[in-house]
Amino acid sequence: MSEEPVTSVSSAARPRLPRGVRLVHNEAQGGWLLLAPERVFKADAISAEILKRCTGEATVEAIVDDLAKSFNAPRERIFADVTKLIGGLADRKLLELE
Amino acid sequence: MATNGSSLSRPLGLLAELTHRCPLGCPYCSNPLALDKRSDELDAETWARVFREAAALGVLQVHLSGGEPAARRDLEQIVKAARGAQLYANLITSAVGITAERMHALADAGLDHVQISIQDSDEKSADRIAGYDGASQRKRALAAEVVKLGLPLTVNMVVHRANIERIEPMVELALALGASRVEIAHVQYYGWAMKNRAALMPTREQVERAVKDVEMLRQKHRGHIVIDAVVPDYYARFPKPCVGGWGRRSLNVTPAGRVLPCHAAEIIPGLEFWNVREHSLDDIWRNAPAFNAFRGDDWMQEPCRSCAMKEKDFGGCRCQAFLIAGDARVADPVCHLSPHHALVEELAQVRADTAYAYRG
């Protein structure tokens, strides 16, 4: 995603996969995949970790905290990665923000 | 390239043509001119086995299509079988003949997504294209039902001379119906569309304008609706990477069980197709002669063989090479490097306002 997302992502938003979008792990196709309407996206390891946490319950803030702790990484950097991914996926109707 | 060894890629998608029966008569239908009979259709149990074999092969999504898939009374059972095999179940429908109750039952069966075709934003024109009075109203009503059920909706709009100047209102209509995605698909000339080519073909000016319209609408509606476009073949300089390369990403099962590398493949003479009634899908994917016919690049001639683009476009579409140049082994004539390219330019100039030959 080269362009900046048009969807703005607040810390309090609770992202979730909408109906018709599923995160699956498939050995034959080489790992994590996002199944969407008539499209399939490969999810890299970082994206998969973020998407697994998009349950509609956790806020963006909680997801960032969790990832920063789990991967012992700087919070600001994770926040930037998470909001960019979530915003970009929301633009493409692959995530919903509650 | 070895075709039976470990380098064989795995298919992602299965197009399941459940039936060729359809209430509509769209003149651009990609079904073959000779349709499979109802009495030859695979039963739901066989489809269930095909889905399990597809999943084992790596397939992730099944596109339940036709004809009109809802012409089958056992569609709910087929949807359940697809989900039971862990596949993403996509319904590609005309929406005509599906009641609100039936849509509810299909959603309960586990459907993941619905694609509804809409022929035009202008209702009179839409019904004329579909060859069915009142089709447009029914489609709009079912689209509303799909959205009400919380299922994601794609509106598919096939673009040709009769509607190409209404892309903007068509996208507005998709938005108003609550679609999250719209597919603007320029007609691809196979099957019935080939038969109606002169009546469907837009002008170059119309196509250029349409491409600009789509780009403008993408920017305008970014974040609200996803706009995917299927390119207008005959006016292109480079061919499309047809089905992501022959026998690489997808397979197609006809109502009677023949397995094809793409839905039009049966027009190519001399190909041997295998049937799921006699072979497992895995066996067909690896060994059926039709699947191995155009894998890799051994079959390629110049200008494809030494062209760097062959890794990206795989020489384009084999069916188109056969239909236009008379030989499935030559470069897709859409490519400006093809010695047959002038034929495509000539064919694009053949336009006639004759009545459509509606599909049977």
Residue B135: per-residue pLDDT: 97
Set of chain A residues whose Cβ sits within 8 Å of the Cβ of B61 = 35, 38, 40
User: What confidence tens digit (pLDDT) does each residue in B259-268 have?
Assistant: 999 999 999 9
Locate the chain B residue with the closest alpha carbon to A37. B113
Please check whether residue A5 lies inside any domain of the structure.
no
Is the torsion defined by CA of B78, B80, B86, B90 positive or negative?
A: positive
Per DSSP (E only), the strands in B78-224 are: 88-93, 113-117, 153-159, 181-186
Please check whether residue A3 lies inside any domain of the structure.
no
User: What confidence tens digit (pLDDT) does each residue in B65-116 have?
Assistant: 999 999 999 999 999 999 999 999 999 999 998 999 999 999 999 999 999 9
Average pLDDT score, chain B: 95
Please check whether residue A68 lies inside any domain of the structure.
yes
Q: Chain A 31-60, CB below 8 Å of chain B: which residues?
A: 33, 35, 37-38, 40
Instruction: Tally A–B CB contacts below 8 A.
Output: 62
Residue B6 has pLDDT above 80, yes or no: no
- Mean pLDDT for B31-42 is 94
CB-based contact A29 B222, cutoff 8 Å: no
Please check whether residue A6 lies inside any domain of the structure.
no
What ipTM does this complex have?
0.91
Query: First-to-last CA distance in chain B?
Result: 41
Percentage of residues in chain A having pLDDT higher than 70? 98
Domain that holds residue A62: 15-97
Residue A53 has pLDDT above 50, yes or no: yes
Structural domain total, chain A:
1
Please check whether residue A32 lies inside any domain of the structure.
yes
Locate the chain B residue with the closest alpha carbon to A32. B60
Distance from CA of A26 to the nearest CA of B (A): 8
Residue B230: per-residue pLDDT: 85
Please check whether residue A10 lies inside any domain of the structure.
no
Residue B4: per-residue pLDDT: 41
Query: Which two tokens mark A46?
Result: 């970082």
Residue B3 has pLDDT above 50, yes or no: no
Helix H or strand E segment including A35 = strand A31-36
Q: Which long-range CB contacts under 8 A does B104-108 form with residues at least 24 apart?
A: B104/B145, B104/B149, B105/B76, B106/B75, B106/B76, B106/B79, B107/B149, B107/B150, B107/B151
Please check whether residue A85 lies inside any domain of the structure.
yes
User: Which of A26, A29, A93 has the CB atom closest to B180's CB atom?
Assistant: A93
Query: Chain B interface, mutation test: which of A22, A23, A38, most B Cβ atoms within 10 Å?
Result: A38
- Mean pLDDT for B147-170 is 97
Please check whether residue A48 lies inside any domain of the structure.
yes
CATH number, domain with residue A22: 1.10.10.1150
Query: Which two tokens mark B198?
Result: 């002169």
pTM of the model: 0.94
Residue A2: per-residue pLDDT: 55
